[in-house]
Amino acid sequence: MLQNFIKVVKKHAKENPARIVFPETNDPRVVDAIKKIREEKTANPITFDIKKESKRIGEFGEIFFEMRKDKGLTKEEAVKLMQNPNYFATMLVHIGEADGMISGSLSTTADVLHPALQVIRTKEKFRKISGFFFMILENRLLLFADCAVNIEPNSHELADLAIDTAETARRFGIEPRIAMLSFSTNGSAKHPNVARVKEATQMVNHLRPDLICEGEMQVDAALVPEVCAQKFPKSRVPGNANVLIFPNLEAANIAYKLVERFGKAHAIGPILQGLQKPINDLSRGCTVEDIVTLAAFTSVEAAEKAIDTKEILFNK
């Protein structure tokens, strides 16, 4: 399953290789990954030495100052921020010299997100960005969200998260079946946290009736048909969910790491969604192959051309 899915993604990436900027070339893993990406031709990597960019740092500082002066940013502060490789790389994406960016092998998620939010910005006003993982198991492909950004999403944010993740799934050739997760299944428990998930489910079904979305439900009911038949017999997602929307960041982050480490899943991400252009975050524990794989996924995102569902043979 893993090789089939990644093979399809890389095939599409080779057809439309994106210009991806890598600001962390002081990491040997990134250097080795860039060599392999160039060999595989799934992206066109862009690198730079920030110490040799004094002229462009000034130019980018001017642009950034104009963008943020209403927020109280001074010109001196703007120029200083452009000396940060993540800010400099994000500006390359903003001005159109790169199609996307991959960072995070040496940086925290916050260090990657702050430049993206300030420079690239979100697709829609008031829309929040989120981060998900492709979790590839022996015979199943799942999307986990939000594993990276929003700590305690409200019902509106959970609904947006579900819709955004479903759209991303479709872009990668996967027809989404969304489970809105909770510690309750179909009213088995009463609590404000349960009500929040239930309300989010209703919002998704109202806003996007074309999507299959069920909730609130426990994860065993979402993934095991026999359990779902017992706990939620009339569920629209009868134990075959492939998009799991967690109630908060804590649950999602713990879950993906447990499944990755002890369920032997291959985790690809976190992939960020909601930005105008693809800016993707690496785990600081990433391998060279993780970086190579994420580059292919970033090329597919940048192309904005959906993969044909028929090509994903295991998405049943």
Condensed to tens digits (0 to 9), the pLDDT of residues 3-31 reads 588 889 999 999 999 999 999 999 999 99
The Cα–Cα gap between 56 and 67 comes to 16
Q: What is the mean pLDDT of the chain?
A: 91
Residue 246 has pLDDT above 50, yes or no: yes
How much is the pTM?
0.85
Instruction: Say which CATH architecture domain 12-121+275-304 belongs to.
Output: 3-Layer(aba) Sandwich (3.40)
As a whole number, mean pLDDT of residues 98-112 equals: 93
Share of the chain above pLDDT 70, in %: 96
Helix (H) or strand (E) holding 113: helix 109-115
For the stretch 255-299, pLDDT in tens is 999 999 898 888 888 889 988 899 999 988 889 999 999 999 999
pLDDT of the residue at 175: 92
pLDDT of the residue at 315: 42
The Cα–Cα gap between 22 and 34 comes to 9
pLDDT of the residue at 311: 59
For the stretch 192-217, pLDDT in tens is 999 999 999 999 999 999 999 998 99
Residue 306 has pLDDT above 80, yes or no: no
**Residue 21 pairs with which residues in a beta bridge?**
46, 101
- For 26, 43, 55, 245, 273, the CA distances from 10, given in Å and listed in that order, are 26, 9, 36, 26, 20
Beta strands 43-46 and 100-103 are unpaired
Q: Which fold has domain 126-267?
A: Rossmann fold (3.40.50)
Query: Which is more confident, 207 or 306?
Result: 207
- For 64, 74, 171, the CA distances from 79, given in Å and listed in that order, are 8, 9, 37
Q: Is 229 exposed, middle or buried (0-12, 13-18, 19+ CB in 10 A)?
A: middle
Cβ burial 173-202 (10 Å sphere, 16+ → b, else e): bbebbbbbbbebbbeeeeeeebebbbbbbe
What spatial distance separates the first Cα and last Cα of the chain, rounded to whole Å?
A: 12
User: Would you state the structure tokens that stand for residue 233, as one six-digit string?
Assistant: 């017999």
Backbone φ, ψ for residue 72 (5° rounding): 95, 5
Which residues of the chain form CATH 3.40.50.10750? 126-267
pLDDT of the residue at 316: 40
Task: Tell how far CA 136 is from the center of its chain.
Answer: 15
For the stretch 28-70, pLDDT in tens is 999 999 999 999 999 999 999 999 998 999 999 999 999 998 8
Contact 273, 166 (CB under 8 A): no
Q: Is 269 exposed, middle or buried (0-12, 13-18, 19+ CB in 10 A)?
A: buried
The Cα–Cα gap between 308 and 302 comes to 16
As a whole number, mean pLDDT of residues 122-145 equals: 86
As a whole number, mean pLDDT of residues 95-99 equals: 96
User: Would you state the structure tokens that stand for residue 161, as one six-digit string?
Assistant: 């998260």
Q: Where does 104-259 show beta strands of DSSP type E? A: 130-136, 141-145, 177-181, 212-217, 243-245
Which residues of the chain form CATH 3.40.50.10950? 12-121+275-304
* Beta sheet of 100-103, edge-to-edge order: 43-46, 18-21, 100-103, 279-281
**Residue 280 pairs with which residues in a beta bridge?**
102
The Cα–Cα gap between 286 and 288 comes to 7
Share of the chain above pLDDT 90, in %: 73
pLDDT of the residue at 269: 82
Longest dimension (CA), the chain: 66
pLDDT of the residue at 62: 95
Residue 244 has pLDDT above 60, yes or no: yes
Residue 135 has pLDDT above 90, yes or no: yes
Q: Where does 169-258 show beta strands of DSSP type E? A: 177-181, 212-217, 243-245
